[in-house]
Amino acid sequence: MSIEHLINGQFQAGGTRQVAVFNPSTGATLCQLTLADSATVQLAIDAATAAFPAWRNTPPAKRTQVLFRFKQLLERNQERIAQLISLEHGKTLEDALGELKRGIENVEYACAAPELLKGEYSRNAGPAIDCWSDFQPLGVVAGITPFNFPAMVPLWMYPLAIACGNCFILKPSERDPSSTLLIAQLFNEAGLPKGVLNVVHGDKEAVDTLIQAPEVRALSFVGSTPVAEYIYAEGTKRGKRVQALGGAKNHAVVMPDADLDNAVNALMGAAFGSCGERCMAISVAVCVGDQVANALVQRLLPQIAALKIGPGTSAGLDMGPLVTAAHQAKVSGYVAAGVAEGAELLADGRGLQVPGHEQGFFLGGCLFDRVTPQMSIYTDEIFGPVLCVMRVDSLEQGIALINAHEYGNGTCIFTRDGESARVFADQIEVGMVGINVALPVPVAYHSFGGWKRSLFGDLHAYGPDGVRFYTRRKAITQRWPKGSSREATQFAFPSL
């Protein structure tokens, strides 16, 4: 079976190159995915360009009627979508359902488009002069999304972009495309006109075509920092609006007064949930004092040993496999590097065998202690089930450590002290901060994004920043002269 592109409401082959889509729990090939060539991507651009005038002029209330039907279809098909996510990505069914529900929240937010797109109006801003602002769509926009959230991250982008009157081209990950494609089909089933949403599968050739096409006015991206920086540089060089979300190295500071049992439970989910393949995963626990570090490690080790690991489509699991054999090897390589660099490996998940799934891409939970800032397991984003413990003497040292890192996506602190929490939230140079919340992912009516090399661009994803990203403000000033009166010529700059 071969997965094709969804262009102008129809499936099209488009392209001669193919890649395999795997079941990471077994290592078996599920299907072949056709990669779009430049001509195929251009077909999608042409379809979106043709659909834009009519969709732009569709009243926002009518656009949101389609979104309401789309939301209902997503809810009716959530089990089917979650199965596809688990089958191709490997994450557990519970995690897949949670991802989808967070995506549906963004559809709900986009349903408020008539309110979100209201401009401001000022009567008599000057003598018989009225002023107002209008928020107008950009035109054709595109999104490039990662493998780790095949449902949620696309739903960060195109529902809001489309609600704002744009037409959208989605280039999802080639590793787990089926759930993304099904969701797009459901949007069309909800009554979305042909060409408003198009899905093309591909690699760098498809991405470069979207970057270079003058018809594409804006690009949204979520993925690694090198690719984010490339897309931002190449896109803005061509006058496009770009929001490119990159990598992360998320720290959790554990204070001496923290509720340690709750902190450990939160860290377990944040570090090992979804096998650590989250840009918001906690990969570093910064313990203030040796006593805190020793107690934390003692509580973590039995919970790591008790992790329930197996094929994601099975019920009652904590972790599934990593997404590909190559990624499994990469994460295992980081574990080996950490040992070579002198960190203490207290829990080693390498060599894990799941009965009946010996060819799956499994890796158990890993825990390092006494990690230092020079080690690659600290400097790099591993994107796997690896938690590093670091030791500092004070909150100030912890803040300085985090602020010195090149990434600034998410962070959190575990404490009972309001002053410590306030100082941390104020001084930390990170875009999303949790206070006793390990995964501070903003809800749909806020916006998601990091600082430093975790985000390239001025606007975060979804929420209010998403509305600003997918629209342009236009200010209109009008005056109607009374009767046949004639006004004198004015050469000075107008003022009240």
pLDDT 10s digits, 370-415: 999 999 999 999 999 999 999 999 999 999 999 999 999 999 999 9
- The phi and psi torsions of 168 (rounded to 5 degrees) equal -125, 140
* Other CB atoms within 10 A of residue 344 CB: 13
Q: Are residues 143 and 182 in the same domain?
A: yes
Whichever domain contains 414, its CATH number is 3.40.309.10
Q: Are residues 345 and 406 in the same domain?
A: yes
pLDDT of residue 470: 98
pLDDT of residue 482: 78
Mean of the pLDDT values across residues 206-219?
98
Residue 215 has pLDDT above 80, yes or no: yes
Sign of the torsion formed by the C-alpha atoms of 75, 218, 195 and 162? positive
pLDDT of residue 223: 96
Q: What is the pLDDT of residues 124-137, one digit of tens each?
A: 888 888 999 999 99
pTM score of the predicted model? 0.95
Q: What is the pLDDT of residues 344-371, one digit of tens each?
A: 999 999 999 999 999 999 999 999 999 9
How large a percentage of the chain has pLDDT more than 90?
93
Q: Among 279, 287, 366, 412, which one carries the catalytic annotation?
A: 279
| Number of domains the chain contains | 2
Taking Cα atoms as reference points, which of 379, 406, 378, 374 lies closest to residue 285? 378
Band of residue 5 on the pLDDT scale cut at 50, 70, 90: very high
How large a percentage of the chain has pLDDT more than 70?
99
pLDDT of residue 492: 83
pLDDT of residue 489: 82
Tell me which DSSP letter residue 127 carries. T
* Distance in angstroms (rounded) separating the CA atoms of residues 142 and 222: 12
Q: Are residues 293 and 200 in the same domain?
A: no
Q: Are residues 193 and 316 in the same domain?
A: no
In a domain, 92, yes or no: yes
In a domain, 490, yes or no: no
Mean of the pLDDT values across residues 200-228?
97
In a domain, 483, yes or no: no
Mean of the pLDDT values across residues 190-212?
98
Residue 331 has pLDDT above 80, yes or no: yes
Q: Are strands 5-7 and 10-12 parallel, antiparallel or unpaired?
A: antiparallel
Band of residue 496 on the pLDDT scale cut at 50, 70, 90: low
In a domain, 287, yes or no: yes
Query: 47-61, 226-240, 481-495: lowest mean pLDDT where?
Result: 481-495
Domain boundary (435, 464, 484) is at 435
Q: Are residues 263 and 302 in the same domain?
A: yes
Q: Are residues 404 and 425 in the same domain?
A: yes
Q: Are residues 408 and 290 in the same domain?
A: yes
Q: Are residues 228 and 303 in the same domain?
A: no
| Integer angstrom CA distances of residue 20 from 7, 29, 90, 242 | 21, 6, 15, 30
Residue 485 has pLDDT above 80, yes or no: no
Mean of the pLDDT values across residues 323-329?
96
Residue 171 has pLDDT above 80, yes or no: yes
Known catalytic residue: 412? no
Q: Are residues 156 and 256 in the same domain?
A: no
Q: Which domain holds residue 388?
A: 250-435
Q: Are residues 179 and 158 in the same domain?
A: yes
In a domain, 71, yes or no: yes
Q: What is the pLDDT of residues 61-119, one digit of tens each?
A: 999 999 999 999 999 999 999 999 999 999 999 999 999 999 999 999 999 999 999 98
Band of residue 490 on the pLDDT scale cut at 50, 70, 90: confident
Strand partners, 366: 386
In a domain, 449, yes or no: no
Q: Are residues 319 and 465 in the same domain?
A: no
Whichever domain contains 162, its CATH number is 3.40.605.10
Q: In sequence order, what are the residues at sequence separation of 6 or more whose Cβ sits closer than 8 angstroms to the Cβ of residue 166?
A: 52, 55, 56, 137, 138, 139, 140, 141, 470
Q: Are residues 331 and 387 in the same domain?
A: yes
| Integer angstrom CA distances of residue 56 from 51, 121, 166, 463 | 9, 22, 7, 20
In a domain, 404, yes or no: yes
Q: What is the pLDDT of residues 272-283, one digit of tens each?
A: 999 999 999 999
Q: Please give the mean pLDDT across all residues of the chain.
A: 96
